[in-house]
């Protein structure tokens, strides 16, 4: 939960310190972006949280410039960051259980690292399926 609270604080700082300036300066672009955010903002944010394409701090700041509600930002961030957090915690737990160099080849540790590598691909595919279902 702390990561979502920190993300929301960065989101709010961006909103209250930068949004008015950005909206005045780039009015033509922010109107289009806010229209998309109003329609599909939760889905966009969830996708960005689940598939690690951009650093989270950039997502926090950019989303703060939009009209997305802070409560929505918090909950979608929480849901989107949770699966990745679980995968990383599992990998760290497995690393902490190493007692000898031979343990590096343990099925649990190898599985954790495979999951770390495959997770973004699975998330991307899942989101593609969800998107196809939404558009039909």
Measured CA distances, 96 to 85, 103, 117 (Å) = 16, 11, 19
pTM: 0.72
> Is the separation of the CB atoms in 73 and 11 below 8 Å?
yes
Provide the domain count of the chain.
1
pLDDT number for residue 10: 97
pLDDT number for residue 55: 92
Q: How far is CA 19 from the centre of its chain?
A: 21
Domain that holds residue 100: 2-135
Q: What is the pLDDT along the chain (136 residues), one digit of tens a residue?
A: 889 999 999 999 999 999 999 989 998 888 888 888 888 888 889 888 877 788 999 999 999 999 999 999 999 899 888 887 887 888 788 788 888 887 777 787 788 778 777 877 777 787 778 778 877 7
pLDDT number for residue 19: 92
User: How long a stretch of residues is the chain?
Assistant: 136
| Contacts (Cβ under 8 Å, ≥6 apart) of 130 | 43
pLDDT number for residue 69: 93
């Amino acid at each position: 939960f702390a990561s979502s609270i920190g993300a929301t604080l960065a989101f709010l700082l961006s909103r209250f310190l930068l949004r008015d300036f950005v909206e005045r300066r780039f009015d033509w672009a922010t109107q289009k972006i806010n229209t998309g955010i109003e329609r599909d903002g939760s889905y966009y944010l969830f996708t960005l949280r689940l598939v690690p394409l951009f650093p989270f701090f950039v997502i926090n700041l950019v989303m703060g410039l939009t009209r997305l509600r802070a409560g929505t930002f918090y909950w979608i961030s929480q849901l989107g960051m949770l699966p990745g957090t679980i995968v990383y915690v599992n990998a760290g737990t497995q690393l902490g259980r190493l007692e000898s160099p031979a343990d590096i080849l343990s099925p649990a540790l190898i599985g954790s690292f495979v999951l770390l590598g495959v997770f973004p691909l699975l998330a991307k595919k899942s989101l593609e399926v969800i998107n196809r279902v939404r558009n039909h």
